[in-house]
Amino acid sequence: MDKPNEIKSLPIGIFDSGVGGLTVYRALHDRLPNEHFVYLGDTARVPYGTKSLATVERYALENAQFLAKRGIKMLVVACNTASALALPSIRSQIGLDVVGVIGPGGRKAVEVTMCDSPRIGVVATEATVASGAYAEAIHRACPEAEVFQTPCPLFVPLAEEGWTNEPETFSIAERYLAAMRDLKPDALVLGCTHYPILRDVIQRTVGENVTLIDSGEATADEVVTLLREKDLANPNSVTGSRRLCDDIDHFFVTDAAERFGRVAERFLGIRPSILEAIELSAIGK
């Protein structure tokens, strides 16, 4: 049954614990020029990786409910910790199609290796590695896969500071990734949405023969497919060329809007045109 156009023309909601999900927003924007987006960065409560399961679930549900009340047709959870710990709760309570970043990243890693027993590395935050969510996703796609995981917590502040080509960044990458390089993975999943900002450093450290998997790009590819399968693609063509962060897309943060704008400019090359600070506690349940 065809969906009415008023539903198809609704925005896609995206949330993250902070700014890292902007790399997912960029991937979605590049692939879906007719769609518009509502982004929520929970900057008041970042990082999620140090929180308990119950706390992450509560925060994630509050974020999802805020975006749902804005009127969205699909939700993208652009946070690895929330994707690892809270997707079942979100899906059970939101009543919308929900896409996380871990499943798509794991499936893409298996797909690109094109072998029966792939060797797949995962670099992520300590919380995401400890959850085992990427290993589980990869093994669902290919039970024979060998999975190696390494936490790289300092990559997050390096990305946010824009330290993408400094000697210190290469030194830290070498310390984190030397053992991973010795394991000779066929593919390496960038299991944190900040890490694509350091893609060149990571690639040069592990070697050009290792295929890097951007979980945000993999998620965007699956969103494109889901929109088509669910008959949710926006039928209205956008006139002219779409710019990142233009006034069609709306960005919300729960704190530190000025800093978010500065980091967004580092990540995307431009500040959001519409950036608004809100308090989730003040929003009706």
41-190-194 Cα angle (round to 5): 30
Question: Known catalytic residue: 245?
Answer: no
152 versus 52: which is more confidently predicted? 152
Q: Are residues 68 and 135 in the same domain?
A: no
Give the pLDDT band of residue 154 (cuts 50, 70, 90).
very high
Task: Answer yes or no: is pLDDT of 44 > 80.
Answer: yes
Q: Are residues 209 and 107 in the same domain?
A: yes
Which of 215, 239, 263 is a domain's end point? 215
Q: Are residues 91 and 231 in the same domain?
A: yes
Q: Are residues 76 and 157 in the same domain?
A: no
Q: How far, in Å, CA of 130 to CA of 202, rounded?
A: 21
Q: How many domains does the chain have?
A: 2
Give the pLDDT band of residue 244 (cuts 50, 70, 90).
confident
Q: Are residues 146 and 170 in the same domain?
A: yes
Q: Are residues 94 and 227 in the same domain?
A: yes
Q: Mind listing the pLDDT tens digit for each residue in 189-198?
A: 999 999 999 9
Handedness of CA 99, 103, 106, 109 (dihedral sign): negative
Kindly state the percentage of the chain with pLDDT values over 90.
82
Q: How far, in Å, CA of 230 to CA of 244, rounded?
A: 25
Which domain, by its residues, includes 248?
Answer: 5-100+218-282
Of the listed 142, 152, 192, 245, which one is catalytic?
192
Question: Known catalytic residue: 152?
Answer: no
Q: Are residues 123 and 191 in the same domain?
A: yes
pLDDT at residue number 240: 59
pLDDT at residue number 239: 59
Q: Are residues 145 and 11 in the same domain?
A: no
Q: Are residues 90 and 124 in the same domain?
A: no
Give the pLDDT band of residue 8 (cuts 50, 70, 90).
very high
User: Minimum mean pLDDT among 1-15, 66-80, 168-182: which range?
Assistant: 1-15
Q: Mind listing the pLDDT tens digit for each residue in 107-139?
A: 999 999 987 899 999 999 888 898 899 999 999
Q: Report pTM.
A: 0.91
Q: Are residues 91 and 224 in the same domain?
A: yes
Look up the CATH number of the domain holding residue 139: 3.40.50.1860
Q: Are residues 208 and 109 in the same domain?
A: yes
Give the pLDDT band of residue 284 (cuts 50, 70, 90).
very low
DSSP for 9-70?
TSPEEEEESSSTTHHHHHHHHHH-TT--EEEEE-TTS---TTS-HHHHHHHHHHHHHHHHHH
